[in-house]
Structure 1
Amino acid sequence: MSGAYLFNHTALAKVFRAKPLKALVQAGLTLPRCHPDQWVLDCTRVGGEKALVYLGHYCA
């Protein structure tokens, strides 16, 4: 299954953008006027120790 993904990256980007935006609205917060209309989602396959080290920086 080389190159195959469970979700289309365009659809996934829309979902990843909609969820935090919905949470902000529900919390009563407003977005700055300069927020991007489109978000970039990178669907590159990663794994192994390098991925764990990279993600470990965000789990401190």
Structure 2
Amino acid sequence: MVAELKRILTAHKGESPVRLRLGTPGRTVVYELGFLVDPASLASDVKGAFGPGVWLGVT
């Protein structure tokens, strides 16, 4: 999954930073991944690879 995420992020270069939010009941951790992407073109690849529920969009 990590390799697929990296492939997708490097394929959609842009100017928006990527943050990965991991949550459990009572705790959420946000990681800054160090990639700059174009979220408009990225969304469909992320949803296709990992499911529609993982994409929160641009915040």
The alignment's TM-score, normalised by the length of structure 2, stands at 0.29
Structure number with the higher strand fraction is 2
Structure showing greater radius of gyration is 1
Q: Which has the higher contact order (CA 8 A, sep 6+)?
A: 1
The alignment's TM-score, normalised by the length of structure 1, stands at 0.29
